[in-house]
Amino acid sequence: MIHKLTIPIFHEEIAPRFDLATEVLIILLSTGNIIEEKKTIVLPRSSADDLCHLLLAENINTIICGAIEEEYYQFLKWKKIDVYDSVAGKWSKAFDRWQKKCLNSGDILSERSIEGKNV
């Protein structure tokens, strides 16, 4: 069975805001979480409504994103999309965690440092 996962991205990171993302990564996975296809869609403008339309049109099953407003969160939930929100850090790390079934909403996966020193 094909599972479709999407991550709104900002360079290599998960976009901090769902409504301000202009780039979306879509990953198609077959049974056993094998990556079948990976594509990036560049949106003409940032809009939470347009992004929701895109997710429905693409039949997305799971989304990993940064900050999202309650209204859109509930809408996506209502549309039976699994939402992992408030996740920060590199999208590859978040995807890896999701595959290992240990990703939670609110996970901060970015490296922590102060004045160049890891903390």
Partner 1 sequence: MINLPHPYVQDLMKDPLNFEHMIDEIPIGVLILDMDRRVVFLNRAFEAMSGFSPLMAHGVQCHNILRSAACISNCPVLSGKDDNRSICCESDMINLDRQRLPIRMTNAPILDNNNNIKGFIETIEDIRNIQKLDGEKSAAYSFANIVGRSPQMEKIFQTLPVLAQSDSSILITGETGTGKDLVAEAIHQTSSRESGPFIKINCGALPETLLESEIFGHQKGAFTGAVENKPGRFKLAHNGTIFLTEIGDLPLPLQVKLLTFLDDKIIYPLGSTKGFKANVRIIAATHRNLEQMVAANRFRKDLLFRLNVARIHLPPLRDREGDIRLLIDYFFNNYRQQLDKNINGFSKDSLMVLLNYRYEGNIRELKNIVEYAVNVSTGSSIEPHQLPSYLFDSPLANAEPDQFATEAISFEYKDDGLPTSATADNHIDTKQTWPSVQRKMILDALTKTNGKKNEAAKILGWGRSTLWRKMKLYNILS
Tell the smallest beta-carbon distance from residue 93 to partner 1 (Å). Answer: 13
Binding mask 5-34 for partner 1 (x = CB under 8 A): -----x----xxx-xx--------------
DSSP state of 98: H
Give 27-89 as a 3 state SS string: EEEECCCEEEEEEEEECCCCCHHHHHHHHHHCCCCEEECCECCHHHHHHHHHCCCEEECCCEC
- Beta strand 3-10 pairing with 62-64: parallel
Segment interacting with partner 1 (CB under 8 A) among 23-31, 37-45, 93-101, 107-115? 107-115
Tell the smallest beta-carbon distance from residue 81 to partner 1 (Å). Answer: 15
The string over 96-108, giving b where at least 16 C-beta atoms fall within 10 Å of a residue's C-beta and e elsewhere, is ebbeeeebeeebe
Binding mask 41-80 for partner 1 (x = CB under 8 A): --------x----------------xxxxx--x-x--x--
Provide the token pair at 75.
């809408």
Tell the smallest beta-carbon distance from residue 94 to partner 1 (Å). Answer: 12
- List contacts with partner 1 (CB under 8 A): 10, 15-17, 19-20, 49, 66-70, 73, 75, 78, 85-86, 88-89, 106, 108, 110-116, 118-119
